A and B are shown apart, each in its own frame.
Chain A
C-alpha cells in the first residue's frame, strides 16, 4: 500500500483526480451489475440512492453524520499508511475509544457539554491511542506483523466491550447490553437544536458538532504530515525504513507514534456516535466504520482533502443505500459493503493495473523517446 508512488511519470493531477474517478466508475459498474443480477434497474436504483442521500435535509443530515465518523477512521488508516503501516484495527480502536468517551460522559453528569467535550475528546483519543500503540510497539520492537496484531486487537476490543456492557456497565434492571443514558447536559449540540433555536422545528437529525471536530482533525493531519518534523519522519519511514534509519531517524519510535496517532483519530468516532447521537455506550456502535475507513483512505489517496471528499461519498452511499433498501425490498443495505469492497480492490489491490496504461496514454510522445525505443 504505497501512499504516493510517483515513479512511472504519471502527472500529479492524474494520480489525485483521474485515478479515483476511474476507480469510482469501476465501482459503479460492478454495483450496477450486482443490481442487474438481482433483477432491478440499476439506473433508477442509483438515482434513488442519490436522491435519498442528498435530496432532502434529512438525507443530507444523515450523509454528513456518517461522513463524520468516516473522516476519523479514514484519517486513521491514512496516517498509519504514510508511515508504511496497514492499520486494519480502526474498528477496535474506534470501539475502545468510544469506551473512553462514554465513561467520561457518564462520569461528568451535570457538566455542560462544552466542558465535557475536551475531556471526552482526550479520553477517546487516549483509549484509541493505547489500542493502536500496543500493536505499533509490537511491530517496531518485537517484529510482529501489524496486520495480524491489529486484527487480533479488534477481536479483543469486541470481547472487552461485550463483557463490560453485559456486566459492569449495564443499566440496572435492563436486559439490553447498554450503559445508562448520559445526562442531557452532556449531549453535543445537534443540527436540530441549532435549527430549533432559530425557530425551525425538525425531526431528530443525527448530524452534530463533531463534524467540525472531524474537519479540524483533517486540517491537523494535513499539517502534521506535510509541515512537521514528525510527519516528515513518518513519510520517510513509510517510503524506505532502512534509508530512514541511515538518515538518523528513529524508525521504531516513529512507528509507535504513528500508530498512537492513528488509534487516537479512530478513537474519536465515539464523540460522533455516542456523545453526539446514541447518548449511551451501546454494543457495536462503530458498526463497520473502522473497516470502511480503509476504503475511504485508499480512495482519498491518503490526503486529508481526498479523505473528506471520499468520506462524503461513502456517507452518501450509506444513507442512500439505507433509503434504497426501504424502497426496494430486494436490495439489501449491504450493497454499500460490496461497493466498498470493489473500491478497495480497484484503488488498493489493483492500483498497479490502471497506472501503467494511464502513464502510457498521458505521456507526451516526443521523437526522442520514440527514437530510443526503436
Chain B
C-alpha cells in the first residue's frame, strides 16, 4: 500500500512539473487569441526564451538575469508577430510558422557558435537555476501517510516558476473577466469594429495582448531550461507550444478549463513515462505511443465537434481593416 501511495505522489508531482510550461504557454495563447490574433508561434517564443535564459544564466550565474533575458527575447518575437499581423495585416498563421522556424534555427546556430557544445548550453549548477522551495514543516509532517508526502513533494518542493504559473491562472481569469482591459480584450477578439467604434484603438489593444503573450512564453521557456532543466538543448520545447495550443482549444479559450486541459495532458505524459513496458490488467502492455497521442486525438475530435464543440473567438485569424 505504501508503494502505491509513493507511486501516486510521484505521479502527481511529475504532473505538476510537466503541466507548468503548458499552463504558462496556453495562458500566453489565451491573451493573443482572445484578442483576435491566432498564435501558433508559442512554440518558437518558448524555445527562444529557453535559450536566452540558459545562455544568460550560464554567463552571469543568475537565474533572475536568465528569466529577464528569456522574457526580453520572447517579447522581441512577440513584437515581430504583432508587426506582421497587426501593423501589416499579414497572415497570422504564416507569421507564427515563420517565428517557429526562425527560433528553431537561430537558437541552434547561436548555441553552437557561442558555447561550442553541439547546440547545447553549458550545464547549470544549483545557484544558476530556480530550485525547489522547501515548505515549512515539510520534514515534520513527512511521516503522515500520503498527505505528508503530498504536502512536501506536490504542494511544496516545487520551484518558484511553478507557483507563478499557478497564480497566473486566477490572475488571468480576473484580468479577462473583471477588468476594463479584459472586457476590451475579449471584445476585440469577437468584434473589433465595435471596439473601434467605441473609440478604442484596435491595434494598440492587440499589441498589448501580444506582448503579454510574449511575456508568458518567455517565463515558460525559462522554466524549461533553468528551472525544470539545467541547460538548453536544441529543440527542447519538442512540440509543447502546440500542445499548449491544444489545451487552449480543449479549454474552449477559457482560463480554468484550459488549466484542466494542461493538467490532463501533463498527466498522460507522466503516465506514459511510467507505463513503458508495463503490462496492464486486461489489455496487457500497451504501446506508449497510444497514450502519447491521446492529447492530439482528443483535440482533433473536439475541434471536429465529435465530443463537445470548441468555438474559437469570432475574429481570430482576421486582420482588422479600419474603414475609411
Shortest beta-carbon distance from B68 to chain A in Å: 20
Distance between Cα atoms of A163 and B290 in the complex (Å):
9
Contact A34-B109, Cβ < 8 Å, known A86-B94, A345-B95: yes
A183 within 8 A of B: no
Bound-state Cα–Cα, A330 to B114, Å? 8
Interface-located stretch among A103-111, A113-121, A150-158, A200-208: A150-158
Does the CB pair A348–B98 fall under 8 Å?
yes
Is the pair A330, B113 in contact by a Cβ cutoff of 8 Å?
A: yes
B84 → A minimal CB distance (Å) = 4
Contacts of A39 in B (CB 8 A): 113
CA distance A344 to B292 in the complex (A): 30
Tell me the nearest residue of chain A to B235, going by C-beta: A334
Please state if A148 and B245 are interface contacts (CB–CB under 8 Å).
yes
Q: Which chain B residue lies CB-closest to A39?
A: B113
**Known contacts A37-B110, A142-B305, A345-B80, A350 near B90 by CB under 8 Å:** yes
Determine if B84 and A349 form an interchain contact, defined as CB atoms under 8 angstroms apart: yes
Could you say which of A88, A159, A330 contacts B289, with CB atoms under 8 Å apart?
Answer: A159
- A149 B303 Cβ-Cβ under 8 A: yes
Number of interface residues of A (CB under 8 A): 50
B175 close to A (CB within 8 Å):
no
Among A148, A159, A291, A331, the one with the most B-chain Cβ atoms within 10 Å of its Cβ is A148
Selected contact of A162 from candidates B101, B289, B299, CB within 8 Å: B289
Known: A147-B40, A332-B113, A334-B108. A294 touches B303 (CB 8 A): no
- Judge whether B138 is part of the interface by a CB distance below 8 angstroms: no
Q: Type the 1/0 row for B46-66, where 1 means its CB is closer than 8 Å to any CB of A.
A: 000000000000000000000
| Contact between chains at B300 and A163 (CB < 8 Å) | no
Residues of A within 8 A of B94 (CB): 1, 86, 294, 298, 344, 348-349
Q: B91 on the interface (CB 8 Å rule)?
A: yes
Could you tell me the distance in whole angstroms from the C-beta of B231 to the nearest C-beta in chain A? 17
Q: Given that A86-B94, A349-B84 are known contacts, is A341 also in contact with B105, CB under 8 Å in the complex?
A: yes
* Cα A34 to Cα B114 with chains together (Å): 12
- A38-B110, A142-B305 known; A334+B289 contact, CB < 8 A: no
Is A193 an interface residue, CB under 8 A from the partner? no
Q: Is the CB of B304 within 8 A of A145?
A: no
Say yes or no: B109 contacts A335, CB within 8 Å: yes
A340 to B109, CA, bound (A): 13
Residue numbers in A under 8 Å from B303 (CB-CB): 138, 142, 144-145, 148-149
Q: Which residues 86-112 of B sit at the A interface, judged by CB distance below 8 A? A: 88-91, 93-95, 97-106, 108-110, 112
Cβ contact of A163, chosen from B97, B101, B287, cutoff 8 A: B287
A163 touching B113 in the complex, CB below 8 Å, given contacts A148-B299, A332-B119: no
Instruction: Mark contacts of B282-314 with chain A using CB atoms, 8 A cut-off: 1 yes-contact digit, 0 otherwise.
Output: 000001010011001101100111100000100
Instruction: Output the least CB separation between B88 and chain A (Å).
Output: 5
Per-position binary interface string of chain A over residues 338-374, scored 1 when its CB falls under 8 Å from any chain B CB and 0 otherwise? 1111101100111111000000000000000000000
Within the complex, what minimum Cβ distance (angstroms) separates B39 from chain A?
A: 11
For chain B, the count of residues having a C-beta within 8 Å of the partner chain is 47
Q: Evaluate contact between A152 and B300: CB separation under 8 angstroms.
A: yes
A345–B41 alpha-carbon span in the complex (Å): 12
A213 within 8 A of B: no
B249 at the interface (CB under 8 A from A): yes
Taking a contact as CB atoms closer than 8 A, the residue among A160, A294, A332, A352 that contacts B109 in the complex is A332
The answer to whether B289 touches A160 (Cβ under 8 A) is: yes
Residue of B nearest to A356 (CB): B88
Partner of A334, one of B85, B109, B312: B109
Asked if B242 CB lies within 8 Å of chain A CBs, one says yes
B90 touches A152 (CB 8 A): no
Tell me whether B93 and A350 are in contact (CB under 8 A).
no
- Whether A291 contacts B88 in the complex (CB less than 8 A), given A151-B242, A155-B242, comes out as no
A295–B242 alpha-carbon span in the complex (Å): 20
Residue of B119, B239, B300 with highest tally of chain A CB at under 10 A: B300
**Further pairs besides A86-B91, A152-B296: 20, Cβ < 8 Å:** A143-B305, A148-B245, A152-B297, A152-B299, A155-B296, A159-B292, A159-B293, A163-B289, A295-B101, A332-B112, A334-B104, A336-B105, A340-B101, A341-B105, A341-B106, A345-B80, A348-B98, A349-B94, A351-B90, A352-B89
A-B contacts, 30 of them at CB < 8 A, read A1-B94, A34-B109, A39-B113, A138-B303, A142-B306, A144-B300, A144-B304, A144-B305, A147-B40, A148-B246, A148-B249, A151-B242, A152-B242, A155-B242, A156-B293, A163-B289, A167-B287, A332-B108, A332-B109, A332-B119, A334-B108, A335-B109, A337-B104, A337-B108, A341-B98, A344-B98, A345-B99, A348-B90, A348-B98, A349-B88
Residues in chain A within 8 A of chain B (CB atoms): 1, 34, 37-39, 86, 88, 138, 142-145, 147-149, 151-153, 155-156, 159-160, 162-163, 167, 291, 294-295, 298, 329-332, 334-342, 344-345, 348-353
